[in-house]
Amino acid sequence: MNKLSIYNTLTRKKEVFEPLNPPHVGLYVCGPTVYGDPHLGHARPAITFDLLFRYLKHLGYKVRYVRNITDVGHLENDADEGEDKIAKKARLEELEPMEVVQYYTDRYHAAMRRLNVLPPSIEPRASGHIIEQIELVKKILANGFAYERNGSIYFDVVKYNKQHSYGILSGRNIEEMIANTRELEGQDEKQNPFDFALWKKAAPEHIMRWLSPWGEGFPGWHLECSVMSTKYLGEPFDIHGGGMDLLFPHHECEIAQSVAANGKQAVRYWMHNNMITINGQKMGKSLGNFITLEELFNGKHALLEQAYSPMTIRFFILQAQYRSTLDFSNEALQAAEKGLSRLMAANRMLDRIKPADSSSVQVEQLKEKVYEALNDDLNSALAIAVLFDWVRLINLLAEDKESITANNLVELKTFFRTIIFDVLGMADEQTTGSKQAELTAKLIEMLLSMRLEAKQRKDFATSDRIRDELSKLGVIVRDRKDGFDWEIE
């Protein structure tokens, strides 16, 4: 089996993944800023890095996965001016900021559970690491890469860039940035408009504030990830992930902070998932195409023709490789829903296959092709395409048009299910949930097995009767070219 390669944003090429201390792998991913309901934009990074987490574990690594919760310091417009996103929500809702944080963290967790996203090993909060953040600011100040203005501390990008390279991750250069930066009012504290805040002095009305050597204030947004990643994963650590929207300035600033404090970078592989567009447009509140996960699940949004189940959303996201763009539309989601239902039907069909004396299918080939796809920078799109080739074969096997030995059948079932459920993290929504749902599904499956047997001995009266009786009970059975599927109305 070949090895896992991942595209490293820092070197701009695919590299064979070699962890620093195998079998241990340190993985850090930027989590949500918890001031609103989780939305479609949250789903892609969560599912991308859940796939990485699951696949690394499948390969035998012991993964420590850290995904943070941003609960302080993320200001409006992702810049150094304006209100803290959480404090603003707290003011509008007349709540304590930490009530806002708890409420939306719980909502985020609930949505992630429904999407079958595994919880990380550690989920640290920025507000729980203020002392460590102050220590990092002190180090950067002592090394001469930051300056104080009226109780705020700013990172000196120009000075840093003379000795190191600011823009190493994003490929931007300072001259270009100067040309493209407009002077904004209120930024006169900074020596240069693109310097960024490490610590901000709290205005009298600012609620979330901590005592520091520079007076009462709060940390800059980029600081928490530098601090929490290395606190729990050591320095350097293996993989840092996040959405492409965080590449600049957030991750660029993280690198600058680590180098300014310790003289070296903290991250070995940087991974970025591409964004989701909606009907070709960027998602935004002002565009009216902002869709929360709750709205997707219940279908209550003007842009939605129907509700889409959590597994449909997950499958839709996995059907694209994480670095490719992904356009969200009703048509695309309906296609994902159909595809998923075919895949789950094939999985249930596996139990109807009767072993033969010889095999006309190559299970080894299935395994090779799936691993080849996943090892190629987590190409889940290609891995799923390979599984679909097997959906057709599984149906032929169930109809005795292809053959498989008992040993190969066990291997096929184990591998197919391991990839679908453990690695891709899918669930069969028709058969899981309550005990009753599971029993109902098993009874329907039993009747459909009998129907298949009837068809095979050309007893069409019995096979039609089973279909019609099920239909009366609200179970729709659909015959397809490559087998059949069922659904409760």
With beta carbons less than 8 A apart as the criterion, state whether 256 and 146 touch: no
- For 83, the 3-state DSSP assignment is coil
Pairing status of strand 62-67 against strand 24-29: parallel
CB atoms within 10 A of CB 402: 17
Task: State in angstroms the smallest separation of the CB of 477 from Zn ion.
Answer: 49
- Using the contact rule CB under 5 A, the part of the chain among 18-26, 28-36, 131-139, 328-336 near Zn ion is 28-36
**In the complex, what is the shortest distance from the CB of residue 58 to Zn ion, in angstroms, rounded to a whole number?**
26
Task: Please list, in sequence order, all residues whose beta carbon lies within 8 angstroms of the beta carbon of residue 112, skipping any fewer than 6 positions away.
Answer: 38, 46, 119
Query: Quick one: 225 or 317, whose CB is closer to Zn ion?
Result: 225
Mask: binding to Zn ion, 262-281, rule CB under 5 A, as x and -? --------------------
Residue with the two structure tokens 């008992």: 406
Of the pair 101, 225, the CB lying nearest Zn ion is at 225
Shortest distance, position 61 Cβ to Zn ion, whole Å: 23
Distance CA 230, CA 45 (A): 21
Nearer to Zn ion, 129 or 314 (CB): 129
Strand partners, 84: 75
Residue type, 100: V
Task: Specify the pairing of strand 196-201 against strand 215-219.
Answer: antiparallel
Considering only the stretches 22-30, 97-105, 186-194, 278-286, report the one whose residues sit in contact with Zn ion under the rule CB under 5 A.
Answer: 22-30
**Closest distance between Zn ion and the C-beta of residue 196, in Å?**
13
Span interacting with Zn ion, options 132-140, 217-225, 260-268, 470-478, rule CB under 5 A: 217-225
Q: How far is the CB of 222 from Zn ion (least distance, A)?
A: 7
Q: CB of 292 within 8 A of CB of 262?
A: no
Q: Distance between CA atoms of 15 and 319, rounded to whole angstroms?
A: 23
With contacts defined by CB under 5 A, how many residues of the chain interact with Zn ion?
2
Q: Are β-strands 326-328 and 483-488 bridged in parallel, bridged antiparallel, or unpaired?
A: unpaired
Name the residue nearer to Zn ion (CB basis): 122 or 303.
122
Nearer to Zn ion, 38 or 339 (CB): 38
Distance CA 62, CA 53 (A): 10
User: How far apart are CB 260 and Zn ion at their closest, in Å?
Assistant: 17
Q: Closer to Zn ion at the Cβ: 125 or 348?
A: 125
* Residue in the structure block whose two tokens are 């209550």: 300
Nearest CB to Zn ion, comparing residues 111 and 225: 225
Rg (alpha carbons) of the chain, rounded to whole number: 26
Region near Zn ion per CB under 5 A, out of 23-31, 340-348, 426-434, 481-489: 23-31
In terms of CB distance, is 73 or 339 closer to Zn ion? 73
Q: Which amino acid is at 103?
A: Y
d(CA 86, CA 101): 7
Tokens of 38: 């989780």
Please pick, from the candidates 6, 30, 256, 336, the single residue that binds Zn ion as defined by CB under 5 A: 30
Part in contact with Zn ion (CB under 5 A); list of ranges 107-115, 220-228, 418-426, 440-448: 220-228
Q: Which stretch binds Zn ion (CB under 5 A): 5-13, 222-230, 456-464, 468-476?
A: 222-230
Residue 86 in the binding site for Zn ion (CB under 5 A): no
Query: x/- site string to Zn ion, residues 112 to 151, per CB under 5 A?
Result: ----------------------------------------
Our CB check for Zn ion shows the closer of 219 and 310 to be: 219
Instruction: Choose the binding region for Zn ion from 224-232, 265-273, 394-402, 410-418 (rule: CB under 5 A).
Output: 224-232
Pick 254 or 428: Cβ nearer Zn ion: 254
Rounded to whole angstroms, the Cα distance separating 68 from 451 reads 51
30/111 with CB nearer Zn ion: 30
The distance of closest approach from Cβ of residue 49 to Zn ion in the complex, given in angstroms and rounded to an integer, is 12
314 C-beta neighbours (distance < 10 Å), count = 25
Q: Could you say whether residue 466 binds Zn ion (CB under 5 A)?
A: no
Residue in the structure block whose two tokens are 């823009």: 167
Segment contacting Zn ion by CB under 5 A, of 219-227, 281-289, 328-336, 469-477: 219-227
| Rounded least distance, CB 204 to Zn ion, Å | 29
The per-residue b/e assignment along 359-381, b for 16 or more CB within 10 angstroms, e otherwise, is: bebebeebbebbbebbbbbbbbe
Pairing assessment for the beta strands 146-149 and 152-155 based on DSSP bridges: antiparallel
**Of 89 and 251, which CB lies nearer to Zn ion in the complex structure?**
251
> Is residue 225 close enough to count as binding Zn ion by CB under 5 A?
yes
CA atoms of 118 and 115, how far apart (whole Å): 9
Helix/strand/coil percentages in the chain, nearest 5? 50, 20, 35
Chain residues that interact with Zn ion, rule: CB under 5 A = 30, 225
